[in-house]
Structure 1
Amino acid sequence: MAPTIAYFQALLAEHPGHPVLIYEVGGAYDTAGQEETARSYYERALALDLDGDVLRRCLCLCQYASTLRWLGELDESLAVLDRARREFPDSDSVRVFRAMTLNDAQRPDEAVAELLTVVTGHAEVTDLGRWAVGLRGLAQWLADGRPE
């Protein structure tokens, strides 16, 4: 990843304060396993307002939350993902990253519920179609804490 980091760092030196480049530098550090460094770049990119680039903003929130998860900051990760879910309620990426954090937080029922929600959202293009309603019900039941 060193060449990628160097490439984006050079671009960033030419365009300091560019939120997309800051995000991309963070992503390169993240991929290189340098989560603490990546974290600061993600935070800067979000603070500089990636609102103009909706897809990158969603990706940045997911990657930032994943980085927090890897750093063991599960509550912070969930807070970022809850924010992302409010901003991007239909995002499968947000749901999948949230499921991974919930699983790490020892909340497996909620994690499975998130994943079932993603899967059943696409049931019509899979062989799950006939079970979609039941699986959605199961997802809700798990998310609600298995009520009697």
Structure 2
Amino acid sequence: MNIGKNKSASILSLSNADDFPLDELTKRMKIQLSRTTKVGEPLLLNSARHYFSTTWQYGLGYKETLDVDEVLMPVIYKLESKVNDILLLKKDYNLAAKFYIEIQIHNGRSPGLAINTRASKLATEIEAVFDIDLYAYAYSELE
């Protein structure tokens, strides 16, 4: 039987519909970013469409897990000491903050998803929303 593995990822995104200096964010945050996009750049999968915002992202990538805390909390721990930096960057560049949680569900085995107090406290402090994306894949047939 071929059963898929559940994977999850958590990402902090700082973005603006205008252009802003991505290198400056990385320098001031003093952490290695995961990904950036620039307003007007073509989307990777479809060059006919373009990004509508410039985005700086920090995350640790996907991990096989049935517990979203395993991907969310390491990001939270890394960012808790950066609250003032994030707030100043948001003010300086008119940025929006968002935590993305992406979950890939295979064979109906959905992971546990609870936003704990520590994560919600950080989100509140930096005025970030949570955006949770679920990707449910079809059940595998028995072979």
- TM-score, normalised to structure 1's length? 0.29
- Larger RCO, structures 1/2 (Cα 8 Å, 6+ apart): 2
TM-score normalised to structure 2 length: 0.29
- Would you tell me which structure has more strand in proportion to its own residues? 2
